Amino acid sequence: MKLSQEQIQAASHLQGPALTLAIPGAGKTTILLHRIINLLKYGVEPNKILTITFSKAQSLDIAKRFDLLYPNSKIKPEFSTIHSFCYKILLLYSKIRGKTFKLIEEKPSAKYRLILNLYFEINKINLSEDSLEKIINKISYFKNSMIDPKDSKTKIPGFIEIYEKYENYKEKNNLIDFDDMIIYALKILKSDNYLLRKIRSKYEYIQLDEGQDTSISQFELIDLISSPKHNLFIVADDDQSIYAFRGANPQYLLHLKDKYQNLKFYYLSNNYRSSKNIVSASNLFISKNKNRYNKKISTHNEYKNPVNIIKVSTNSEQYEFIYENLLQNKNQTHAVIYRNNLSSLSLVEYLERKNVKFNIRGSKLKFFSHFIVQDILNIISFSQDQKNIDTFSKIYYKIKGYISKKHLDFIKNNSGTNIFKTLLEYPGLNEFYKNNIFELASDFNKLKRLNIHQQIEFVFYNLNYNKYLRDVANKFNYNYEELKEFYYQLKFIAKLEKSLESLLGRLSHLEYLISTKSYANSNLSISTIHSVKGLEYDCVYVIDLTDDIIPGTNSDKDFDEYQEQRRLFYVAMTRARENLYLMYPKTFNGTPKPMSSFLEEISNM
Protein backbone atom coordinates (compact mmCIF):
# COMPACT_ATOMS: atom_id res chain seq x y z
CA MET A 1 0.00 0.00 0.00
CA LYS A 2 1.36 3.42 -0.97
CA LEU A 3 1.34 5.87 1.95
CA SER A 4 0.70 9.59 1.73
CA GLN A 5 3.34 12.06 2.89
CA GLU A 6 1.38 12.65 6.11
CA GLN A 7 1.23 8.92 6.79
CA ILE A 8 4.95 8.43 6.03
CA GLN A 9 5.91 11.18 8.48
CA ALA A 10 3.79 9.69 11.29
CA ALA A 11 4.93 6.11 10.65
CA SER A 12 8.57 7.24 10.62
CA HIS A 13 8.46 8.56 14.19
CA LEU A 14 10.74 6.36 16.31
CA GLN A 15 11.81 7.93 19.61
CA GLY A 16 10.01 9.96 22.26
CA PRO A 17 6.33 10.87 22.73
CA ALA A 18 4.09 11.60 19.75
CA LEU A 19 0.44 12.39 19.15
CA THR A 20 -1.03 11.59 15.75
CA LEU A 21 -4.40 13.25 15.23
CA ALA A 22 -6.26 11.06 12.76
CA ILE A 23 -9.64 12.15 11.38
CA PRO A 24 -12.31 9.57 10.40
CA GLY A 25 -11.28 7.45 7.42
CA ALA A 26 -7.62 8.54 7.60
CA GLY A 27 -6.12 5.04 7.87
CA LYS A 28 -4.93 5.09 11.47
CA THR A 29 -4.51 1.30 11.71
CA THR A 30 -2.28 1.42 8.63
CA ILE A 31 -0.03 3.95 10.40
CA LEU A 32 0.27 1.82 13.53
CA LEU A 33 1.26 -1.21 11.45
CA HIS A 34 3.77 0.61 9.27
CA ARG A 35 5.34 2.25 12.31
CA ILE A 36 5.88 -1.20 13.83
CA ILE A 37 7.63 -2.28 10.64
CA ASN A 38 9.81 0.85 10.77
CA LEU A 39 10.71 0.09 14.39
CA LEU A 40 11.69 -3.45 13.40
CA LYS A 41 13.87 -2.07 10.59
CA TYR A 42 15.39 0.30 13.14
CA GLY A 43 16.49 -2.77 15.12
CA VAL A 44 13.84 -2.89 17.83
CA GLU A 45 13.00 -6.43 18.94
CA PRO A 46 9.35 -7.29 18.13
CA ASN A 47 8.50 -8.34 21.71
CA LYS A 48 9.59 -4.91 22.96
CA ILE A 49 6.65 -3.29 21.13
CA LEU A 50 3.23 -3.14 22.81
CA THR A 51 0.15 -1.85 20.97
CA ILE A 52 -2.87 -1.15 23.19
CA THR A 53 -6.28 -1.11 21.48
CA PHE A 54 -9.74 -0.11 22.68
CA SER A 55 -11.47 -3.44 22.01
CA LYS A 56 -10.61 -7.11 21.65
CA ALA A 57 -11.90 -7.07 18.05
CA GLN A 58 -9.48 -4.25 17.18
CA SER A 59 -6.63 -6.11 18.84
CA LEU A 60 -7.31 -9.29 16.84
CA ASP A 61 -7.75 -7.33 13.60
CA ILE A 62 -4.48 -5.42 13.87
CA ALA A 63 -2.60 -8.62 14.82
CA LYS A 64 -4.02 -10.38 11.76
CA ARG A 65 -3.07 -7.47 9.50
CA PHE A 66 0.46 -7.47 10.92
CA ASP A 67 0.82 -11.16 10.00
CA LEU A 68 -0.15 -10.32 6.41
CA LEU A 69 2.37 -7.46 6.21
CA TYR A 70 5.17 -9.30 8.03
CA PRO A 71 4.52 -13.04 7.53
CA ASN A 72 8.04 -14.24 8.32
CA SER A 73 8.27 -12.77 11.82
CA LYS A 74 8.82 -15.60 14.32
CA ILE A 75 8.68 -13.26 17.33
CA LYS A 76 5.71 -10.95 17.20
CA PRO A 77 4.84 -7.60 18.76
CA GLU A 78 2.14 -7.69 21.42
CA PHE A 79 -1.37 -6.46 20.67
CA SER A 80 -3.66 -6.14 23.67
CA THR A 81 -6.61 -4.30 25.15
CA ILE A 82 -5.86 -2.22 28.24
CA HIS A 83 -7.89 -4.59 30.44
CA SER A 84 -6.13 -7.67 29.11
CA PHE A 85 -2.77 -6.01 29.66
CA CYS A 86 -3.65 -5.03 33.24
CA TYR A 87 -4.89 -8.55 33.96
CA LYS A 88 -1.45 -9.86 32.93
CA ILE A 89 0.11 -7.48 35.44
CA LEU A 90 -2.18 -8.85 38.17
CA LEU A 91 -1.31 -12.44 37.24
CA LEU A 92 2.40 -11.63 37.29
CA TYR A 93 1.99 -9.96 40.68
CA SER A 94 0.12 -13.02 41.95
CA LYS A 95 2.92 -15.30 40.78
CA ILE A 96 5.70 -13.19 42.34
CA ARG A 97 4.00 -12.01 45.55
CA GLY A 98 1.49 -14.81 46.16
CA LYS A 99 -1.54 -12.51 46.15
CA THR A 100 -4.52 -13.90 44.23
CA PHE A 101 -7.34 -12.00 42.51
CA LYS A 102 -10.72 -13.39 41.57
CA LEU A 103 -12.98 -11.67 39.04
CA ILE A 104 -16.58 -11.17 40.12
CA GLU A 105 -17.52 -11.29 36.41
CA GLU A 106 -16.33 -14.91 36.16
CA LYS A 107 -19.90 -15.74 37.12
CA PRO A 108 -21.81 -13.45 34.71
CA SER A 109 -24.84 -12.98 36.95
CA ALA A 110 -22.97 -12.51 40.24
CA LYS A 111 -22.27 -8.78 39.82
CA TYR A 112 -25.78 -8.03 38.56
CA ARG A 113 -27.42 -10.02 41.34
CA LEU A 114 -25.32 -8.28 44.00
CA ILE A 115 -26.21 -4.79 42.79
CA LEU A 116 -29.89 -5.72 42.41
CA ASN A 117 -29.95 -6.95 46.01
CA LEU A 118 -28.13 -3.87 47.30
CA TYR A 119 -30.51 -1.55 45.47
CA PHE A 120 -33.55 -3.34 46.90
CA GLU A 121 -32.03 -3.35 50.40
CA ILE A 122 -31.48 0.41 50.29
CA ASN A 123 -34.47 1.65 48.24
CA LYS A 124 -37.07 -1.07 48.93
CA ILE A 125 -37.95 -1.38 45.24
CA ASN A 126 -36.87 -3.78 42.53
CA LEU A 127 -34.46 -2.41 39.94
CA SER A 128 -35.20 -2.59 36.21
CA GLU A 129 -32.52 -3.94 33.85
CA ASP A 130 -31.89 -0.60 32.12
CA SER A 131 -31.49 1.12 35.51
CA LEU A 132 -29.11 -1.65 36.57
CA GLU A 133 -26.99 -0.88 33.50
CA LYS A 134 -26.92 2.81 34.49
CA ILE A 135 -25.65 1.95 37.98
CA ILE A 136 -22.92 -0.32 36.58
CA ASN A 137 -21.86 2.41 34.13
CA LYS A 138 -21.81 4.98 36.93
CA ILE A 139 -19.60 2.75 39.11
CA SER A 140 -17.30 2.29 36.12
CA TYR A 141 -17.25 6.05 35.49
CA PHE A 142 -16.11 6.93 39.01
CA LYS A 143 -13.39 4.28 39.04
CA ASN A 144 -11.99 5.11 35.63
CA SER A 145 -12.12 8.84 36.39
CA MET A 146 -10.48 8.27 39.79
CA ILE A 147 -13.22 10.35 41.42
CA ASP A 148 -14.70 9.69 44.86
CA PRO A 149 -18.51 9.38 44.41
CA LYS A 150 -18.95 11.45 47.59
CA ASP A 151 -17.46 14.42 45.73
CA SER A 152 -20.03 14.24 42.94
CA LYS A 153 -23.80 14.29 42.51
CA THR A 154 -25.87 11.53 40.92
CA LYS A 155 -29.62 11.12 40.42
CA ILE A 156 -29.51 7.41 41.29
CA PRO A 157 -31.26 6.94 44.67
CA GLY A 158 -28.88 5.69 47.37
CA PHE A 159 -25.96 5.42 44.94
CA ILE A 160 -23.16 6.24 47.39
CA GLU A 161 -24.40 3.61 49.85
CA ILE A 162 -24.74 1.07 47.00
CA TYR A 163 -21.20 1.89 45.82
CA GLU A 164 -19.67 1.55 49.28
CA LYS A 165 -21.44 -1.73 50.09
CA TYR A 166 -20.50 -3.11 46.67
CA GLU A 167 -16.82 -2.25 47.26
CA ASN A 168 -16.91 -3.66 50.81
CA TYR A 169 -18.43 -6.91 49.59
CA LYS A 170 -15.69 -7.36 47.00
CA GLU A 171 -12.93 -6.57 49.49
CA LYS A 172 -14.37 -8.96 52.08
CA ASN A 173 -14.61 -11.78 49.50
CA ASN A 174 -11.28 -11.07 47.78
CA LEU A 175 -13.00 -10.10 44.51
CA ILE A 176 -12.24 -7.53 41.85
CA ASP A 177 -14.33 -6.36 38.91
CA PHE A 178 -13.43 -5.44 35.33
CA ASP A 179 -12.63 -1.81 36.19
CA ASP A 180 -10.57 -2.78 39.24
CA MET A 181 -8.03 -4.37 36.88
CA ILE A 182 -6.74 -0.92 35.90
CA ILE A 183 -6.94 0.55 39.43
CA TYR A 184 -5.19 -2.43 41.05
CA ALA A 185 -2.55 -2.68 38.31
CA LEU A 186 -1.79 1.04 38.77
CA LYS A 187 -1.53 0.69 42.56
CA ILE A 188 0.72 -2.36 42.24
CA LEU A 189 3.11 -0.69 39.80
CA LYS A 190 3.30 2.43 41.96
CA SER A 191 4.15 0.43 45.07
CA ASP A 192 6.24 -2.45 43.64
CA ASN A 193 9.44 -1.10 42.06
CA TYR A 194 10.68 -4.56 41.06
CA LEU A 195 7.53 -5.29 39.06
CA LEU A 196 7.50 -1.81 37.53
CA ARG A 197 11.11 -2.22 36.33
CA LYS A 198 10.24 -5.63 34.92
CA ILE A 199 7.29 -4.23 32.90
CA ARG A 200 9.28 -1.21 31.70
CA SER A 201 12.18 -3.34 30.49
CA LYS A 202 9.79 -5.69 28.67
CA TYR A 203 7.96 -2.95 26.74
CA GLU A 204 10.22 -0.17 25.50
CA TYR A 205 7.88 1.07 22.77
CA ILE A 206 4.19 1.60 23.43
CA GLN A 207 1.50 2.47 20.90
CA LEU A 208 -1.97 3.57 22.01
CA ASP A 209 -4.83 3.27 19.53
CA GLU A 210 -8.08 5.24 19.95
CA GLY A 211 -6.35 7.46 22.50
CA GLN A 212 -9.45 9.66 22.86
CA ASP A 213 -11.30 6.77 24.52
CA THR A 214 -8.72 6.40 27.29
CA SER A 215 -9.73 7.25 30.86
CA ILE A 216 -7.61 9.17 33.37
CA SER A 217 -6.65 5.97 35.24
CA GLN A 218 -5.77 4.15 32.01
CA PHE A 219 -3.59 6.99 30.75
CA GLU A 220 -1.86 7.32 34.12
CA LEU A 221 -0.92 3.64 33.93
CA ILE A 222 0.34 3.93 30.34
CA ASP A 223 2.33 7.03 31.24
CA LEU A 224 3.87 5.19 34.21
CA ILE A 225 5.11 2.19 32.23
CA SER A 226 6.40 4.33 29.33
CA SER A 227 8.53 6.41 31.70
CA PRO A 228 11.27 7.63 31.70
CA LYS A 229 11.96 7.48 27.93
CA HIS A 230 8.27 7.95 27.01
CA ASN A 231 8.53 6.13 23.70
CA LEU A 232 4.79 6.55 23.52
CA PHE A 233 2.98 6.86 20.19
CA ILE A 234 -0.68 7.87 20.53
CA VAL A 235 -3.15 7.80 17.65
CA ALA A 236 -6.35 9.65 18.48
CA ASP A 237 -9.13 11.95 17.35
CA ASP A 238 -10.48 14.14 20.12
CA ASP A 239 -13.54 14.78 17.93
CA GLN A 240 -14.49 11.10 18.27
CA SER A 241 -14.35 10.87 22.06
CA ILE A 242 -17.78 9.43 22.93
CA TYR A 243 -17.25 7.33 26.05
CA ALA A 244 -17.49 9.91 28.84
CA PHE A 245 -20.00 7.66 30.62
CA ARG A 246 -17.15 5.14 31.04
CA GLY A 247 -14.69 7.77 32.24
CA ALA A 248 -13.02 8.55 28.90
CA ASN A 249 -11.76 12.12 28.92
CA PRO A 250 -10.26 13.87 25.87
CA GLN A 251 -8.94 16.69 28.05
CA TYR A 252 -5.66 14.88 28.68
CA LEU A 253 -5.05 14.90 24.90
CA LEU A 254 -5.58 18.64 24.74
CA HIS A 255 -2.97 19.18 27.47
CA LEU A 256 -0.50 16.50 26.39
CA LYS A 257 2.08 19.10 25.40
CA ASP A 258 2.15 20.32 29.01
CA LYS A 259 3.07 16.83 30.16
CA TYR A 260 5.59 16.00 27.44
CA GLN A 261 7.66 19.04 26.48
CA ASN A 262 9.24 17.15 23.55
CA LEU A 263 5.91 15.92 22.18
CA LYS A 264 5.78 15.64 18.38
CA PHE A 265 2.49 16.25 16.55
CA TYR A 266 1.45 14.50 13.34
CA TYR A 267 -1.76 15.07 11.41
CA LEU A 268 -3.66 12.61 9.24
CA SER A 269 -6.11 15.07 7.71
CA ASN A 270 -7.22 13.30 4.53
CA ASN A 271 -10.46 11.32 4.67
CA TYR A 272 -10.19 8.33 2.30
CA ARG A 273 -13.72 7.15 3.15
CA SER A 274 -16.38 9.76 2.51
CA SER A 275 -17.51 11.94 -0.36
CA LYS A 276 -16.69 15.66 -0.36
CA ASN A 277 -20.29 16.46 0.57
CA ILE A 278 -20.14 14.37 3.75
CA VAL A 279 -16.63 15.52 4.70
CA SER A 280 -17.55 19.18 4.25
CA ALA A 281 -20.82 18.97 6.23
CA SER A 282 -19.33 16.92 9.09
CA ASN A 283 -16.29 19.22 9.32
CA LEU A 284 -18.44 22.36 9.56
CA PHE A 285 -20.59 20.64 12.17
CA ILE A 286 -17.82 19.46 14.51
CA SER A 287 -15.88 22.73 14.22
CA LYS A 288 -18.52 24.35 16.46
CA ASN A 289 -17.17 22.46 19.46
CA LYS A 290 -14.91 24.70 21.56
CA ASN A 291 -12.48 22.36 23.34
CA ARG A 292 -10.77 20.57 20.47
CA TYR A 293 -7.73 20.56 18.21
CA ASN A 294 -8.34 22.51 15.02
CA LYS A 295 -7.79 20.29 12.00
CA LYS A 296 -7.67 20.89 8.27
CA ILE A 297 -9.97 18.09 7.16
CA SER A 298 -9.97 17.26 3.46
CA THR A 299 -10.60 14.47 0.97
CA HIS A 300 -9.53 13.60 -2.55
CA ASN A 301 -12.91 11.95 -3.14
CA GLU A 302 -15.41 13.56 -5.50
CA TYR A 303 -18.63 15.39 -4.71
CA LYS A 304 -21.50 12.93 -4.89
CA ASN A 305 -24.93 13.05 -3.30
CA PRO A 306 -25.73 15.88 -0.88
CA VAL A 307 -26.36 15.12 2.77
CA ASN A 308 -30.10 14.35 2.90
CA ILE A 309 -32.33 15.61 5.70
CA ILE A 310 -35.47 13.47 5.61
CA LYS A 311 -38.52 14.74 7.49
CA VAL A 312 -41.36 12.25 7.93
CA SER A 313 -44.53 12.16 9.99
CA THR A 314 -43.93 9.09 12.17
CA ASN A 315 -41.36 6.48 13.22
CA SER A 316 -42.84 4.00 10.77
CA GLU A 317 -42.35 6.30 7.79
CA GLN A 318 -38.61 6.27 8.52
CA TYR A 319 -38.62 2.50 8.15
CA GLU A 320 -40.64 2.66 4.94
CA PHE A 321 -38.15 5.11 3.44
CA ILE A 322 -35.22 2.87 4.39
CA TYR A 323 -36.96 -0.23 3.02
CA GLU A 324 -37.59 1.40 -0.36
CA ASN A 325 -33.97 2.55 -0.49
CA LEU A 326 -32.74 -0.97 0.29
CA LEU A 327 -34.75 -2.36 -2.61
CA GLN A 328 -33.32 0.24 -5.00
CA ASN A 329 -29.68 -0.17 -3.88
CA LYS A 330 -29.18 -3.89 -3.31
CA ASN A 331 -25.49 -3.81 -4.26
CA GLN A 332 -24.55 -1.26 -1.61
CA THR A 333 -23.87 -1.68 2.09
CA HIS A 334 -26.35 -0.01 4.44
CA ALA A 335 -26.42 0.88 8.14
CA VAL A 336 -29.30 2.18 10.24
CA ILE A 337 -27.88 4.00 13.26
CA TYR A 338 -29.70 5.22 16.37
CA ARG A 339 -28.86 6.92 19.67
CA ASN A 340 -30.69 4.54 22.03
CA ASN A 341 -30.93 0.75 22.05
CA LEU A 342 -34.70 0.86 22.38
CA SER A 343 -34.98 2.35 18.88
CA SER A 344 -33.91 -1.01 17.47
CA LEU A 345 -37.05 -2.83 18.60
CA SER A 346 -39.72 -1.38 16.31
CA LEU A 347 -37.13 -1.28 13.52
CA VAL A 348 -36.46 -5.02 13.91
CA GLU A 349 -40.21 -5.65 14.07
CA TYR A 350 -40.70 -3.80 10.78
CA LEU A 351 -37.73 -5.34 8.94
CA GLU A 352 -38.56 -8.89 10.04
CA ARG A 353 -42.15 -8.49 8.82
CA LYS A 354 -40.70 -7.43 5.46
CA ASN A 355 -38.36 -10.48 5.41
CA VAL A 356 -35.27 -8.25 5.36
CA LYS A 357 -32.09 -9.88 6.66
CA PHE A 358 -29.90 -7.74 8.88
CA ASN A 359 -27.03 -7.83 11.36
CA ILE A 360 -27.33 -6.23 14.79
CA ARG A 361 -24.27 -4.69 16.41
CA GLY A 362 -23.83 -4.09 20.11
CA SER A 363 -27.43 -4.70 21.17
CA LYS A 364 -27.99 -4.43 24.91
CA LEU A 365 -31.73 -4.14 24.68
CA LYS A 366 -33.46 -4.22 28.07
CA PHE A 367 -37.04 -4.52 26.92
CA PHE A 368 -38.52 -7.99 27.21
CA SER A 369 -38.11 -8.32 30.99
CA HIS A 370 -38.59 -4.61 31.71
CA PHE A 371 -41.04 -3.91 34.53
CA ILE A 372 -43.32 -1.76 32.33
CA VAL A 373 -43.71 -4.50 29.72
CA GLN A 374 -44.29 -7.12 32.42
CA ASP A 375 -46.80 -4.89 34.26
CA ILE A 376 -48.92 -4.25 31.16
CA LEU A 377 -48.88 -7.94 30.16
CA ASN A 378 -49.79 -8.98 33.73
CA ILE A 379 -52.75 -6.58 33.83
CA ILE A 380 -54.05 -7.93 30.51
CA SER A 381 -53.48 -11.50 31.72
CA PHE A 382 -55.48 -10.83 34.88
CA SER A 383 -58.46 -9.66 32.81
CA GLN A 384 -58.64 -13.22 31.42
CA ASP A 385 -58.41 -14.88 34.84
CA GLN A 386 -59.95 -12.64 37.48
CA LYS A 387 -59.44 -15.09 40.32
CA ASN A 388 -55.65 -15.25 39.94
CA ILE A 389 -54.45 -13.76 43.22
CA ASP A 390 -50.74 -14.12 42.33
CA THR A 391 -51.10 -11.91 39.26
CA PHE A 392 -53.38 -9.47 41.08
CA SER A 393 -50.80 -9.13 43.89
CA LYS A 394 -48.31 -7.81 41.33
CA ILE A 395 -50.62 -5.17 39.82
CA TYR A 396 -53.26 -4.02 42.35
CA TYR A 397 -51.33 -0.91 43.46
CA LYS A 398 -50.37 0.07 39.88
CA ILE A 399 -53.92 0.67 38.62
CA LYS A 400 -56.87 2.77 39.72
CA GLY A 401 -59.21 1.59 42.46
CA TYR A 402 -57.33 2.57 45.64
CA ILE A 403 -57.02 -1.07 46.73
CA SER A 404 -54.83 -1.40 49.84
CA LYS A 405 -52.64 -4.14 51.34
CA LYS A 406 -55.42 -4.85 53.86
CA HIS A 407 -57.86 -5.45 51.02
CA LEU A 408 -55.35 -7.78 49.38
CA ASP A 409 -54.87 -9.79 52.58
CA PHE A 410 -58.66 -10.17 52.88
CA ILE A 411 -58.85 -11.50 49.30
CA LYS A 412 -56.06 -14.02 50.03
CA ASN A 413 -57.90 -15.32 53.08
CA ASN A 414 -61.31 -15.43 51.37
CA SER A 415 -60.58 -16.69 47.88
CA GLY A 416 -63.46 -17.09 45.46
CA THR A 417 -64.26 -17.30 41.76
CA ASN A 418 -63.77 -13.57 41.23
CA ILE A 419 -61.48 -11.22 43.15
CA PHE A 420 -63.81 -8.21 42.78
CA LYS A 421 -66.80 -10.14 44.15
CA THR A 422 -64.68 -11.22 47.11
CA LEU A 423 -63.51 -7.67 47.66
CA LEU A 424 -67.10 -6.39 47.84
CA GLU A 425 -67.56 -8.61 50.92
CA TYR A 426 -64.84 -6.73 52.82
CA PRO A 427 -66.32 -5.71 56.24
CA GLY A 428 -67.37 -2.07 56.54
CA LEU A 429 -66.64 -1.18 52.92
CA ASN A 430 -67.99 2.34 52.27
CA GLU A 431 -69.83 3.52 49.17
CA PHE A 432 -66.72 5.20 47.75
CA TYR A 433 -64.80 1.92 47.71
CA LYS A 434 -67.80 -0.04 46.44
CA ASN A 435 -68.18 2.31 43.48
CA ASN A 436 -64.45 2.05 42.76
CA ILE A 437 -64.60 -1.74 42.79
CA PHE A 438 -67.70 -1.85 40.56
CA GLU A 439 -65.99 0.51 38.09
CA LEU A 440 -62.75 -1.49 38.17
CA ALA A 441 -64.61 -4.77 37.62
CA SER A 442 -66.47 -3.21 34.69
CA ASP A 443 -63.20 -1.93 33.20
CA PHE A 444 -61.57 -5.35 33.42
CA ASN A 445 -64.54 -6.92 31.67
CA LYS A 446 -64.24 -4.28 28.92
CA LEU A 447 -60.51 -4.96 28.72
CA LYS A 448 -61.12 -8.66 28.22
CA ARG A 449 -63.22 -8.03 25.08
CA LEU A 450 -60.72 -5.75 23.27
CA ASN A 451 -58.04 -6.84 20.80
CA ILE A 452 -54.48 -6.87 22.13
CA HIS A 453 -53.47 -3.54 20.55
CA GLN A 454 -56.50 -1.82 22.13
CA GLN A 455 -55.88 -3.60 25.44
CA ILE A 456 -52.42 -2.09 25.82
CA GLU A 457 -53.78 1.43 25.31
CA PHE A 458 -56.73 0.75 27.65
CA VAL A 459 -54.37 -0.38 30.43
CA PHE A 460 -52.19 2.65 30.02
CA TYR A 461 -54.90 5.32 30.01
CA ASN A 462 -58.21 3.88 31.23
CA LEU A 463 -56.74 1.87 34.12
CA ASN A 464 -54.41 4.76 34.96
CA TYR A 465 -51.15 2.84 34.61
CA ASN A 466 -49.71 6.06 33.15
CA LYS A 467 -50.30 7.79 36.50
CA TYR A 468 -48.42 5.05 38.32
CA LEU A 469 -45.57 5.48 35.85
CA ARG A 470 -45.44 9.22 36.50
CA ASP A 471 -45.23 8.54 40.24
CA VAL A 472 -42.34 6.12 39.69
CA ALA A 473 -40.58 8.68 37.47
CA ASN A 474 -40.94 11.43 40.09
CA LYS A 475 -39.88 9.22 43.00
CA PHE A 476 -36.78 7.75 41.38
CA ASN A 477 -35.74 10.60 39.07
CA TYR A 478 -36.58 8.70 35.88
CA ASN A 479 -37.59 10.46 32.68
CA TYR A 480 -41.31 9.79 32.17
CA GLU A 481 -41.10 10.15 28.37
CA GLU A 482 -38.31 7.56 28.27
CA LEU A 483 -40.40 5.17 30.37
CA LYS A 484 -43.41 5.77 28.16
CA GLU A 485 -41.40 4.59 25.15
CA PHE A 486 -41.65 1.01 26.45
CA TYR A 487 -45.44 1.29 26.25
CA TYR A 488 -45.24 2.65 22.71
CA GLN A 489 -42.87 -0.08 21.53
CA LEU A 490 -45.12 -2.79 22.99
CA LYS A 491 -48.15 -1.27 21.28
CA PHE A 492 -46.25 -1.05 17.97
CA ILE A 493 -45.40 -4.76 18.08
CA ALA A 494 -48.99 -5.66 19.02
CA LYS A 495 -50.44 -3.86 16.00
CA LEU A 496 -50.56 -7.00 13.86
CA GLU A 497 -51.28 -9.45 16.68
CA LYS A 498 -54.75 -10.66 17.71
CA SER A 499 -54.36 -11.90 21.26
CA LEU A 500 -52.15 -11.89 24.33
CA GLU A 501 -50.89 -15.35 23.43
CA SER A 502 -49.86 -14.35 19.91
CA LEU A 503 -48.16 -11.19 21.26
CA LEU A 504 -46.18 -13.25 23.77
CA GLY A 505 -45.09 -15.50 20.92
CA ARG A 506 -44.06 -12.50 18.84
CA LEU A 507 -42.07 -10.98 21.72
CA SER A 508 -40.28 -14.28 22.25
CA HIS A 509 -39.39 -14.41 18.54
CA LEU A 510 -38.09 -10.83 18.52
CA GLU A 511 -36.02 -11.46 21.63
CA TYR A 512 -34.42 -14.43 19.88
CA LEU A 513 -33.74 -12.38 16.75
CA ILE A 514 -32.12 -9.51 18.61
CA SER A 515 -29.97 -11.71 20.83
CA THR A 516 -28.76 -14.26 18.27
CA LYS A 517 -29.39 -13.35 14.64
CA SER A 518 -26.56 -12.46 12.31
CA TYR A 519 -26.62 -12.96 8.54
CA ALA A 520 -23.23 -13.22 6.89
CA ASN A 521 -24.71 -12.44 3.49
CA SER A 522 -26.69 -9.39 4.61
CA ASN A 523 -25.73 -5.93 3.36
CA LEU A 524 -27.67 -4.22 6.19
CA SER A 525 -26.45 -3.51 9.72
CA ILE A 526 -28.39 -1.85 12.51
CA SER A 527 -26.52 -0.39 15.45
CA THR A 528 -26.23 2.22 18.15
CA ILE A 529 -23.82 5.05 17.33
CA HIS A 530 -21.38 3.80 19.97
CA SER A 531 -21.22 0.30 18.47
CA VAL A 532 -20.70 1.43 14.88
CA LYS A 533 -17.61 3.51 15.62
CA GLY A 534 -14.69 2.59 13.34
CA LEU A 535 -16.94 1.10 10.64
CA GLU A 536 -18.10 2.44 7.27
CA TYR A 537 -20.98 1.87 4.85
CA ASP A 538 -22.11 3.11 1.43
CA CYS A 539 -25.45 4.33 2.81
CA VAL A 540 -26.06 5.45 6.38
CA TYR A 541 -29.46 6.31 7.88
CA VAL A 542 -29.39 8.08 11.25
CA ILE A 543 -32.92 7.77 12.65
CA ASP A 544 -35.04 9.29 15.44
CA LEU A 545 -33.34 12.69 15.33
CA THR A 546 -35.58 14.53 17.78
CA ASP A 547 -34.16 17.13 20.12
CA ASP A 548 -34.80 15.17 23.31
CA ILE A 549 -32.87 12.16 21.95
CA ILE A 550 -29.85 14.02 20.59
CA PRO A 551 -28.46 16.31 21.91
CA GLY A 552 -30.95 15.56 24.72
CA THR A 553 -33.26 17.70 26.82
CA ASN A 554 -30.71 18.69 29.48
CA SER A 555 -27.45 18.58 27.55
CA ASP A 556 -27.53 22.32 26.76
CA LYS A 557 -27.26 22.96 30.52
CA ASP A 558 -24.03 20.95 30.69
CA PHE A 559 -21.21 22.29 28.50
CA ASP A 560 -19.17 19.06 28.49
CA GLU A 561 -22.21 16.88 27.85
CA TYR A 562 -23.31 19.07 24.93
CA GLN A 563 -19.88 18.77 23.34
CA GLU A 564 -19.97 15.00 23.86
CA GLN A 565 -23.36 14.78 22.11
CA ARG A 566 -21.99 16.80 19.18
CA ARG A 567 -19.07 14.36 18.91
CA LEU A 568 -21.51 11.47 18.98
CA PHE A 569 -23.51 12.98 16.11
CA TYR A 570 -20.25 13.58 14.21
CA VAL A 571 -19.28 9.91 14.58
CA ALA A 572 -22.66 8.90 13.12
CA MET A 573 -22.24 11.24 10.14
CA THR A 574 -18.73 10.05 9.32
CA ARG A 575 -19.69 6.38 8.96
CA ALA A 576 -21.07 7.10 5.46
CA ARG A 577 -19.11 6.78 2.24
CA GLU A 578 -21.56 8.12 -0.35
CA ASN A 579 -25.09 8.56 1.01
CA LEU A 580 -26.01 10.04 4.36
CA TYR A 581 -29.67 10.30 5.42
CA LEU A 582 -30.47 12.22 8.61
CA MET A 583 -34.05 11.35 9.57
CA TYR A 584 -36.51 13.26 11.72
CA PRO A 585 -39.99 11.92 12.64
CA LYS A 586 -42.26 14.85 13.50
CA THR A 587 -44.28 12.55 15.75
CA PHE A 588 -42.06 10.22 17.75
CA ASN A 589 -43.73 7.33 19.59
CA GLY A 590 -47.10 9.01 19.21
CA THR A 591 -45.97 12.39 20.58
CA PRO A 592 -45.07 15.51 18.52
CA LYS A 593 -41.38 16.29 18.99
CA PRO A 594 -39.13 19.19 17.90
CA MET A 595 -36.36 18.43 15.43
CA SER A 596 -32.85 17.93 16.79
CA SER A 597 -31.06 21.28 17.09
CA PHE A 598 -28.07 19.57 15.45
CA LEU A 599 -30.22 18.82 12.43
CA GLU A 600 -31.34 22.44 12.38
CA GLU A 601 -27.70 23.50 12.23
CA ILE A 602 -26.91 21.19 9.33
CA SER A 603 -29.98 22.26 7.37
CA ASN A 604 -28.82 25.89 7.66
CA MET A 605 -25.26 25.23 6.46
Average pLDDT, the chain: 93
pLDDT at site 1: 67
Residue 500 bridge partners (DSSP):
none
Domain 5-90+181-268 has CATH 3.40.50.1820: no
**Phi then psi for 310, rounded to 5 degrees?**
-110, 115
Q: Where are the domains of the chain?
A: 5-90+181-268, 103-173, 286-358+518-604, 371-497
Give the pLDDT confidence of 189-201 residue by residue, as tens digits: 999 999 999 999 9
pLDDT at site 558: 86
E strand or H helix that includes residue 151:
none
**Beta-strand pair 591-592/576-588:** antiparallel
- The full 3-state SS of 6-46, as one line of letters, equals HHHHHHCCCCCCEEEEECCCCCHHHHHHHHHHHHHHCCCCH
- Residue 364 pLDDT exceeds 80: no
**Phi then psi for 455, rounded to 5 degrees?**
-60, -40
Mean predicted confidence (pLDDT) in 472-500: 92
| Dist. CA 602–CA 595, nearest whole Å | 12
Give the pLDDT confidence of 406-444 residue by residue, as tens digits: 999 999 999 788 999 999 999 999 998 899 999 999 999
Alpha-helical segments (H) within 386-479:
389-395, 405-413, 419-423, 431-449, 452-457, 465-476
Of 358, 365, 356, the closest CA to residue 518 belongs to 358
Say what the pTM is.
0.92
- Residue 514 pLDDT exceeds 90: no
% residues pLDDT > 70 (the chain): 99
- Residue 251 pLDDT exceeds 90: no
Q: Do domains 5-90+181-268 and 286-358+518-604 have the same CATH topology?
A: yes
Least confident of 102-111, 173-182, 323-332: 102-111
| Dist. CA 293–CA 236, nearest whole Å | 11
Task: Provide the angle, in degrees to the nearest 10, between the axes of the packed helices 480-494 and 465-476.
Answer: 140
CATH of 103-173, one of 3.30.2130, 1.10.10, 1.10.3470, 2.60.40: 1.10.10
Contact 525, 564 (CB under 8 A): no
CATH of 286-358+518-604, one of 3.40.718.10, 3.40.50.740, 2.40.240.10, 3.40.50.300: 3.40.50.300
Q: How many residues does the chain have?
A: 605
- Residue 517 pLDDT exceeds 70: no
E strand or H helix that includes residue 565:
helix 559-573
